[in-house]
Amino acid sequence: MSNHSYFQRRSEIESYFDRTAAEAWERLTSDAPVSGVRATVRAGRAEMRQLMTGWLLERLGRQEPNGESKAHPLEKITVLDAGCGTGLLAVDLARLGAQVVATDLSPKLIEVAERRHPNDLAPGSVCFHAGDMLDARLGRFDVLMAMDSLIHYAPEQAMAAISTFAARVRRTMIITFVPKTPLLMTMMAVGRLFPRSDRSPGVVPISETWLREAIEQAPALRDWSIGRVQRVSKGFYTSTALELVRS
């Protein structure tokens, strides 16, 4: 992947989320009423958060000696929420005890996330940060969560990002991609008929077969294997979660 094309794409995404869509995104991620199209997206996104969180709990959640789930089953687990938007997933994970660093290109969305930051997360925590999720200075983590952030990049760029994360993540990575299906391609074409403000910025669908092969062949992912893969489809929201586990 050339750095030039990554930086160019990153700057388009930043400009979309920080300017064009910041208010719409703030509303979508709140309880305020939204249009029918956006209501389906909101519902689909809630289901996706639940799915990703559930996978993490099953994989790393700690239990009491009697087998019951702990109040904070992710206590002491460190998580990078890459492309956190207004921070919904980061806060869900911190409520379960995780120590989350949540980063997003858009300073405006980070401002919203900080304003909404609940003050009763202990022993969990979230530290919000405006900047690139690939910045090595963010450090190393047990877990990487990238919900609907890599979906804006070309497949090769998304793969390069996953390979970069792999060197900094100890246990599990859960990413999402938009599956390249005939139905979705039709919906994207129909979506172009909606007003510009109702559209997401150039999502790039990826074929699951292509992604699986690319993961299997990536030298940086030699120690990793694909775990669960599951699609969430609700109205105008379609995204697939994919779990990578260090073997």
Ligand X SMILES: C[S@@+](CC[C@H](N)C(=O)[O-])C[C@H]1O[C@@H](n2cnc3c(N)ncnc32)[C@H](O)[C@@H]1O
Q: Which residues bind ligand X (CB under 6 A)?
A: 10, 13, 17, 29, 45, 83-85, 88-89, 103-106, 109, 132-134, 147-149, 152
Residue closer to ligand X, measured from CB, 123 or 139 = 139
For residue 245, the cross-strand partners are 172, 225
Token look-up 């989350």 returns 100
Q: Which CB atom, from 62 or from 116, has the smaller least distance to ligand X?
A: 116
Cβ 52 to ligand X, closest distance in Å?
A: 9
Q: Is 162 in a helix, a strand, or coil?
A: helix
* Min CB(244)–ligand X separation in Å: 17
Output the smallest distance, CB 202 to ligand X, in A. Answer: 11
Contact call for residues 157 and 5 (beta carbons, < 8 A):
yes
- Pairing type for strands 169-177 and 237-246 reads antiparallel
Dist CA 29 CA 8 (whole Å): 27
Judged by beta carbon, residue 150 or residue 244, the one nearer ligand X is 150
State which residue, 241 or 244, has the beta carbon closest to ligand X. 241
Closest separation in Å from C-beta 45 to ligand X: 6
Q: Which of 156, 161, 187, 175 is nearest to 227 (CA)?
A: 175
